[in-house]
Structure 1
């Protein structure tokens, strides 16, 4: 495919990163003050007008939400379904206020698959935790630190949601999450050194990220009944650094309940030939998409990907 043909696809893939933030720093700080002054129960009531505003005045995100929910639920999505999805999203954002301050005692968190991480940490080679925009990564990081002592750095595009991250870091300056920025010359070495030190590198593989390597491409695989594009960048990075891939999710169950899941996805730690590596990468992408689809059908209101995931708007 020539570069002219690739350009529209790339633009659609990265448009979410260029979209203006709907976050408002002042509103977030007011919300934080309410949360810390009056407690989580009062703060959760404030989420309802915030959710209603987003559902009513964000038509593009609402359209994408209904498209996804219709496929995940197996029926046409209603406005109340969109409301439930957005409310779950705002609830996890609120909970980050407490989690960043180490208030895990306010939540009921179950951890499944912790023994897999314990085994990985015992080997001293680190691993990649591969997730999606499902539930809360923050609860996974906080619970992991408390239960199995894991150190997780997010490998991510750092400028997205910058106002949310700035507001939350302001209220918990001693609890800033470790972040390894993508798209920089030193990114690969930083990831390798972190893993060699026994750390875990978390990535979200359900979006095409600006600044990914030119070697990264896309693989279209079935997802909720339609072919969808998934970037092979995270999988190639794991294969290049010869590490394990562990599927991760911090599923929000409502109220103060979360379910942290850690499941084996792929193992690139052995030496592979070129053709074998390519086959294993595709197998891992297909397995990841299937795992994500099952999770979306089980907890459809937990997927917070409010953009044109299947790239159907352009067509």
Structure 2
């Protein structure tokens, strides 16, 4: 199946500020059923319009189905109906972010399914890095944790595409403290700022499943669902520089609530100069294996709607492809 090989960072945010605001106002004041009725045609429109995201959804679901074979969570090869449900889960995840910051998600609906709890992380008395992903809903995790614990959680993010949604989130609850740090590349100034966060025993969240927006070629390849995929090196280099504990973090929606999973990854990540590439490859493969494990349990909560297994085309490659197609 053909998929677009553009960079994830070039995809534009679907929907204007006013459209998103209208939907969220309907949700906040009209309740669950009103927004469900309103969402269906809107989501159908984007499903038809955004061909690249639709193809990427099918690619992921079908690859997972092939990889799991007889243990696949799907009874048959995924098609457009399952892909539409994939989009639907993405929309519900966005609404859940609002719910979490409005206090609509009860703490007793949250279970800790990992080998560590947030309480244990805080009792260590150390700052730490939490490696998240676009699998599940780390924003819900952060809201639930900050509601219960007096802790500052800083998120390194590429916020250009979610500016409208973040603005509405802040408007929905003036107490929302997003603590979003826009980072396009890891500079010495960013490293110093984050070191100060760690020294104050704060937490730093960064996703590990998307390659760099500035230098996508600086990726490490690892097996994911039976095929090599490019993964970012930045989170792991950052972790080695900050010299603090590293945890993996997942927040997955399940029947009746959420499953928050924290997995200890390294007490301190070290990347020896002479063996740096080798160790980086091992580290990234460990992360990819955990990402794969959770993705197979919650496949419809995978929210990377682009060709995950390819590097984006360079400008030169795009021009060459255009010349070839015109001949």
TM-score of the alignment, normalized to the shorter chain, above 0.5 = yes
Unpaired runs of 5+ residues, structure 2, are 67-75, 314-320, 322-327
Q: Which residue is equivalent to 2:78?
A: 77
Is the Cα contact below 8 Å between 1:153 and 1:200 reproduced in 2?
yes
Q: Name 2:8's counterpart in structure 1.
A: 16
Residue equivalent to 1:205 = 208
Partners of 1:157 and 1:303 in 2: CA distance:
18
1:223 matched to 2:224? The reply is: yes
- Do structure 1's residue 127 and structure 2's residue 128 form an aligned pair? yes
Deviates more, 1:162-171 or 1:109-118: 109-118
Query: Is it true that 1:35 corresponds to 2:27 in the alignment?
Result: yes
**Whole-angstrom CA distance in 1 between matches of 2:117 and 2:169:** 30
The alpha-carbon distance between structure 1 residues 146 and 173, as it changes in their structure 2 partners (threshold 3 A), is closer
- Deviations, residues 83-127 of structure 1 (Å, cap 9, x unaligned): 111111000111112212233239832223484543433333311
Contact 1:128 1:243 in 2 (8 A): yes
Any residues of structure 2 matched to 1:260-275 within 5 Å, and which?
260-268=260-268, 273-275=272-274
* Aligned equivalent of 1:307: 306
The aligned counterpart of 1:242 is 243
Task: Give the match for residue 289 of structure 2.
Answer: 290
Higher mean C-alpha deviation, range 186-195 or range 71-80: 71-80
TM-score by length of 1: 0.85
1:62–1:82 contact (8 Å) kept in structure 2: yes
1:171 matched to 2:178? no
Matching of residue 196 in structure 1 with residue 199 in structure 2: yes
Deviations 1:164-188 (A, max 9, x none): 2122222222203111221375321
Deviation at 1:276, TM superposition (A): 5.3
Superposed CA deviations along residues 176-207 of structure 1, whole A, max 9, x for unmatched, are 31112213753212211111111111111111
1:281 aligns with 2:280: yes
Count of equivalent residues: 300
Structure 1 match to 2:153 = 152
TM-aligned CA deviation for residue 312 of structure 1: 7.5
Aligned match of 2:50:
58
RMSD in angstroms over aligned alpha carbons? 2.7
Shift of residue 275, structure 1, vs aligned partner: 3.4
Q: Quickly say closer, same or farther: Cα 1:125–1:106, change in 2 above 3 A.
A: closer
Distance 1:104 1:195 in 2: 29
In structure 2, distance between residues paired with 1:50 and 1:224? 31
Determine the structure 1 residue equivalent to 2:181: 180
What is the Cα deviation at residue 300 of structure 1? 0.7
| Aligned twin of 1:7 | none
Say whether the 8 Å CA contact 2:222–2:281 is kept in structure 1: no
Q: Distance in 2 between matches of 1:118 and 1:279?
A: 34
Q: Is the 8 A contact 1:135 1:303 kept in 2?
A: yes
Are the equivalent residues in 2 in contact too, given 1:133–1:305 (CA < 8 A)? yes
* Residues 155 and 181, structure 2, Cα contact 8 Å, conserved in 1: yes
Report which stretch shifted further, 29-38 or 157-166: 157-166
Q: Which moved more, 1:61-70 or 1:173-182?
A: 173-182
CA distance in 1, matches of 2:19, 2:311: 33
Distance 1:66 1:312 in 2: 18
1:116-143 deviation per Cα after TM superposition (whole angstroms, max 9, x unaligned): 5434333333111111101211221122
